[in-house]
Chains A and B, each alone.
Chain A
Amino acid sequence: MKITIKYSIILCTMLALGCTEEVANETQPEETPLTTGLSSDSTAELALSYFAHMITATDYELMGFQRMSQLDSLALIGPPMVSFALTSKGIANNNAPTLTQDTVQVVYQVGVEGDTIPNCQMELIYAENTWYVVSLGNAGEASAIATARLRHAQKHQRPASDYFLVDAPEMYTRFIGYYNEDELMLIPLQDQPQYGLAKTVPVAYSNIAPTLLDAMTNMPEALVKVP
């Protein structure tokens, strides 16, 4: 179980840190985004300069900023977090979270240079030899993730790079993950008392897995019905 996710983390980190550049340069389509051929870090840095021109007086507060002038010193806050998926199929097969099937997702926290808590976050995926910034914003979640990671890291004297994200899409829930020696631990980002989850209180994956599997397989019905 541990080998799977740790190996995945290494793979993802390699991708995130630039091992994609060689691959990306091999096949460039005629029309390419400026991010083609860049690592995820370089893409995120480039995106900062774009977003500084995209966020305006209309919505800087919705993006989590207090003043427009803060956009002059946008920076990536803390190390990026790779996102893994936790599915009912994976739990039933006794597997730890594994990489998503056809995408690699990385979340970068965005804030003002020198700050430790971000104002918002950007999410990148890797597809067709290119990193794409698929979203920017989600101020509330960015702050919740950063605060939970920072507090836990400080309390247990761990580097921020020890943490990653674990998404459980079937129950629309995102956790922060880390390893405590050999044990995969999950930090909930919201209270879900019906599953025994309390916000920011870590739980061992092995203990909560049966509950999560039950929750995922017994969702009452589809969340959305299209006429």
Chain B
Amino acid sequence: MKHKKSKITLMLLIAVALVAATTVENANPTYSLEEAVIPVPIYGQQTNMWCWAASSQMVLAYMGDTVQQCEEANWHLNRKDCCDPNEIKNGSPCAKGGSPTFQHYGYDYSLLRSCEGLPWDTIVNLGNTNSAWAYAWAHVNTSQPKDTLCNQPVSGGHVMVGRGYKQLVVTTGATIDTLKYVVINNPMPVNEGTYAYYLYEYYGSFPYGTKPNVHAADYYNIYKAPNN
């Protein structure tokens, strides 16, 4: 009798274990989202060279200042004709590269030059404090390993705007996967611009073509300088 009871108990235990294992295997995933998306307007760059001007325009508009990309080009190139409609086009002498114009409009910022971009915690903090930022990645003129490229001459690149983050934790049984995405405004395509999530690990050097791309810099903690 005692032997029979033990046998039943053992079978019950096995059955419970099997059910438990199956439950874990087939467990429906649960999702937990943490996010911050700042209302930064999207402006498309007006020539294929004006990503820097459009990104500045987006951040400044969010901060309350209205600027035109052609005005930024006038200032940056020391010209007066860039707001002529005939000059706002690809191939124009005004369609040249540049860098964000925050200081010209009375703003100061922190600048981080790095291969990796901002730490995730900083991006979360910027999002949670309603702070937009601009960042640049660059092509470089060499085929060296990417982690040695940060201070190489830049042969091209792109500027975009960070406007928040999305962090999704997916729990499936005993497995946890954390997805970290940076929310961005891209001034491309020309005259349109676009909104997207970029995987955090790639936000600073989005793979695009055969040239080595590296993260170049983040312009963050942007604020109106006191005497402006």
Taking Cβ atoms with an 8 Å cutoff, the residues of A that contact B are 33-34, 49-50, 53-54, 56, 58-59, 62-63, 85, 87, 89-90, 98, 100-101, 103, 105, 120, 125, 132-141, 144, 167-173, 189-190, 192, 194, 219-227
Contacts and interface: CB of A to CB of B under 8 A. Distances in A.
A227 B111 contact: yes
Contact of A87 (B193, B206, B211): B211
A169 B48 CA distance: 12
A91 B209 CA distance: 14
24 contacts: A33-B179, A34-B172, A50-B168, A54-B35, A54-B179, A63-B195, A85-B210, A87-B209, A90-B210, A98-B210, A100-B207, A101-B210, A120-B196, A133-B199, A134-B198, A137-B194, A139-B195, A167-B208, A194-B91, A220-B96, A223-B49, A224-B51, A225-B52, A225-B154
Contacts of B210: 85, 87, 89-90, 98, 100-101, 169
B91 A224 contact: no
A134 to B, nearest CB: 5
B97 A223 contact: yes
A54 B168 contact: yes
Nearest to B208: A169
A227 to B, nearest CB: 6
Interface of B, helix, strand, loop or mixed by DSSP: strand
Contact of A137 (B95, B138, B196): B196
Interface stretch (B4-12, B67-75, B156-164): B156-164
A225 B207 contact: no
Given A90-B210, A189-B189, A225-B98, 6 more contacts: A56-B37, A62-B195, A135-B199, A170-B139, A225-B52, A226-B136
A224 B99 contact: yes
A33 B189 contact: no
A12 to B, nearest CB: 15
A182 B216 CA distance: 41
Contact of B52 (A58, A139, A189, A223): A223
Interface in B125-170: 136, 138-139, 154-159, 166, 168, 170
B43 interface: no
A144 B139 CA distance: 26
B172 to A, nearest CB: 7
Interface string B158-193: 110000001010101001010101010010111011
B166 A224 contact: no
A222 B153 CA distance: 10
Contacts, number: 159
B49 A132 contact: no
A222 B97 contact: yes
A134 B206 contact: yes
B23 interface: no
Which 7 pairs show the lowest CB-CB distances between chains A and B? A169-B209, A137-B196, A224-B157, A194-B91, A62-B195, A53-B31, A85-B209
Contacts of A138: 186, 194-196
A41 B33 CA distance: 24
A134 B202 contact: yes
Interface string B90-116: 110001111100000000000101000
B197 interface: yes
B123 interface: no
